[in-house]
Amino acid sequence: MKSSLIFGLLASLAFSALCSAQSSRSMVNVSYDKFEDMTEVSTSESKVDDAIARKKVMQDLRLHARYMCAGNTSHCRPDKLELMFVSYSNFEHIRSIDLVLLYDGKRMRASKPSWSRGDDGAGHPVEHITFSIPVDDFLKLALAEKVEGKLGETTFNLSDDNLMAMRALANEINSPVHGKGANSQLRSSERVTG
């Protein structure tokens, strides 16, 4: 009886760990392009909290992050990583050239983003603002308890979903499997397709 109780407890712990690893993995998207021999590793887009624009109105601002690996692997240590903001607004961020993030009593700045404008397929305007940051800065952000930010004139807080996704991406970067194809590149102008 005692041994079956211990076995049940161990099986439960193993299942819990497996579910946690799969949940973390499902927050990370991996797409290999066999023609370019590159793998894009990214988080899904998720909404930031309390995004208040320059006119003191709430804004629909979302974030996702990505990096590129050479070869068919998601496990590499990139030099840089992209933070990609998506704003459902019309020219709100055309002059947003600075990103300031506050975490654990520290300040991180990024500048010189790429900016593009389009629509969501239903005719609503969408802006894309992308910053490249050093991977070490990203790893610090991913480990922070709370991250506040300012994108141009818009202030926001990273949501729990943002932070969980960033931690999952950090786990990919810090994975002990850095074998074949462990070199990375960052190509902000290129979309990877499989």
Q: What is the pLDDT along the chain (194 residues), one digit of tens a residue?
A: 544 434 443 344 333 333 344 344 478 999 999 999 999 999 999 999 999 987 888 889 999 999 999 999 888 899 999 999 999 877 777 777 899 999 998 999 998 899 888 888 888 888 899 999 999 999 999 999 999 999 988 999 999 999 999 999 999 998 875 433 344 444 333 333 33
The domains of the chain are located at 2-185
**Which CATH number does 2-185 carry?**
2.60.40
This prediction's pTM: 0.75
Q: Is the C-alpha dihedral spanning 163, 165, 171, 174 positive or negative?
A: negative
Give CA separation, 94 vs 49, 86, 97, 116, in Å. 21, 12, 8, 8
Distance CA 132, CA 72 (A): 23
